[in-house]
Amino acid sequence: MKVVVGSKNPVKMKATGNVLKQIYSEVEVQAKNADSEVPNQPIGLETTINGAINRAKNVYTQEFDLSVGIESGLLETPHSITGYLDLQWCAIYDGDKTTLGVSAGFEYPPLVIKNVMKGMEVGDVMDRVTGIDRLGEKKGAVSHLSKGLLDRTSNTEQCVLMAMIPRMNQKLYFKK
């Protein structure tokens, strides 16, 4: 199984490999930058999902069995403190079908959302808040906010696994 991830973020590559190695006996995972064709800070369900799909499709070539696009974005959420939850979406593309999965969502502190609404990216604000440069390529904001109970790799693994469920159960999802 040869797979390409549409991002050079080491967390996304590691999470993809961790999940796929549990499903397939042999997996080779490569990473290549791919354009999401959405804003750097996606806000909204459709924008975030489209970013994941675009990453997967823009990095796909017939050299690979699967391509993976992962995009984090803010989803408007009624009754939450800030009005938004952060969710990671994964799109897996095989040249024909796209399957989707989503991670557990969490809420950023109000200061973060306030700055994002002024045009900053979540990652930049969280780097300032934590004092950790490139936090999103390391343990991630979710690890910092959950006091280490969930790190970004595990959170990303969730969306990859959820996107694989239809592929793991082809007879239930895809008619021949």
Inter-residue contact 162 to 101 (CB < 8 Å): yes
Q: Kindly state the average pLDDT of the residues 148-162.
A: 96
Inter-residue contact 140 to 152 (CB < 8 Å): yes
Cα–Cα distances in angstroms (integers) from residue 5 to residues 23, 69, 120, 123, in the given order: 17, 6, 25, 20
**What are the extents of the domains in the chain?**
2-173
CATH number for the domain running over 2-173: 3.90.950.10
What pLDDT does residue 131 have?
86
Q: Kindly state the average pLDDT of the residues 33-58.
A: 97
β pairing state of 98-102 and 66-76: unpaired
What pLDDT does residue 175 have?
81
Nearby residues of 156 by Cβ (< 8 Å), 6 or more positions away: 11, 12, 15, 16, 70, 88, 90, 103
For 77-126, what is each residue's pLDDT tens digit?
Answer: 999 999 999 999 999 999 999 999 999 999 999 999 999 999 998 889 98
Mean pLDDT (the chain, rounded): 95
